[in-house]
């Protein structure tokens, strides 16, 4: 049985429908980047959450929603 991480990575690799990157200067990007970095520094993120949040930073919300990830 696949773990969440391998399943997510497989879906990420097999789909390139949403290659729209969000603006790195937007408040939304800065919010996620700051929050995620703080959580990583506090060691409160699991590997699955790190992968998920990387997707949120790199791609728009519809990509992560399409993967069935609850935000």
- Domain ranges in the chain? 22-71
Tell how far CA 6 is from the center of its chain.
Answer: 14
Could you tell me the two tokens for 65?
């929603």
The reported pLDDT for the residue numbered 51 is 72
pLDDT in tens, the chain (71 residues): 556 555 555 555 544 444 344 556 667 667 777 777 777 677 766 776 777 777 666 655 544 444 444 44
The Cα–Cα gap between 41 and 27 comes to 21
The Cα–Cα gap between 31 and 14 comes to 28
The Cα–Cα gap between 50 and 42 comes to 13
The reported pLDDT for the residue numbered 5 is 58
The reported pLDDT for the residue numbered 20 is 40
């Amino acid at each position: 049985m696949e773990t969440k991480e391998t399943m997510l990575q497989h879906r990420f690799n097999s789909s390139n429908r949403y290659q729209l990157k969000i603006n790195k200067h937007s408040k939304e990007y800065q919010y996620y980047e700051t929050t995620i970095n703080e959580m990583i520094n506090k060691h409160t993120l699991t590997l699955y959450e790190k992968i998920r949040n990387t997707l949120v930073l790199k791609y728009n919300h519809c990509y992560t929603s399409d993967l069935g990830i609850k935000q």
